[in-house]
Amino acid sequence: MSTTTVNISANQVKELREKTGAPMMDCKQALTEAKGDMEQAVVVLRKRGVSVAAKKATRVTSEGAVTSYIHAGGKIGVLLEVNCESDFVARTDDFKELVHDIAMHIAASDPKFVRKEDVTPEAYEHEKDIYRAQAAATGKPPQVVEKIVEGKMSKFYEEVCLLEQPFIKDQTVSISQLIATKIGKLGENIAVRRFARFKVGDAGETIAITKPDQKAE
């Protein structure tokens, strides 16, 4: 086991904090663990955030905020509710930034559900039937068609579920990882409660809702 000591400079800690928003001591520890490698330190902080988020996932989120976001010159609008555990955290700039970023992401990416657990069997099978018809239209053998459908369905959740989608401002991070990072920093459970997305000219709208402590049937 190596006993090499890595000297972490204040500038490195500052740079990592600016990148991730994590507390100074967490940044220093992550850089030490990553032996000064900035990108690896970011990974360390993300993993730590996910771990903290998992431990806090069952804690009740009864506070939070509702925000609105208007995009594309008034053509797209989003209403979003994100919950946390205390009014104190709900008032922090970190929480407000998170809520704003998620609302902006919804406007741009148009998810249909909050979580994988919220996708109904009917919606899943409907999408599968569409992919199957598209693949069959190519004239390929049935066994090849099924493999094509399986490949497309593996990405289905990433396309339609908010928490599975890559964050529009950083494609290396999913929305669930973005939230986990904030949970790790703020020390409270955070959950997307519901959202609605409206677009001028569309016949319908997207309305998605989930309960933090209740899984979809």
Q: Residue 149: give its domain's CATH number.
A: 1.10.286
Per the structure, the count of domains in the chain is 3
User: How far apart are alpha carbons 72 and 74 in whole angstroms?
Assistant: 6
pLDDT of res. 2: 43
pLDDT in tens, 48-57: 765 566 666 6
Residues 46 and 79 both lie in one domain: no
Residues 109 and 178 both lie in one domain: yes
Q: Residue 210: give its domain's CATH number.
A: 3.30.479.20
- What per-residue string of b and e applies to 60-99 under the rule 16 or more CB within 10 Å gives b? ebebbbebebebeeeebbbbbbbbbbbeebbebeebeebb
Residue 172 backbone zone (phi > 0: left; psi -120 to 50: alpha; other: beta): alpha
Q: Residue 28: give its domain's CATH number.
A: 1.10.8.10
Residues 143 and 216 both lie in one domain: no
pTM, entire model: 0.71
pLDDT in tens, 43-86: 887 777 655 666 666 677 789 999 999 987 899 999 999 999 99
Averaged pLDDT, 99-108: 97
Q: List the domain range (segments joined by +) for residue 46.
A: 1-56
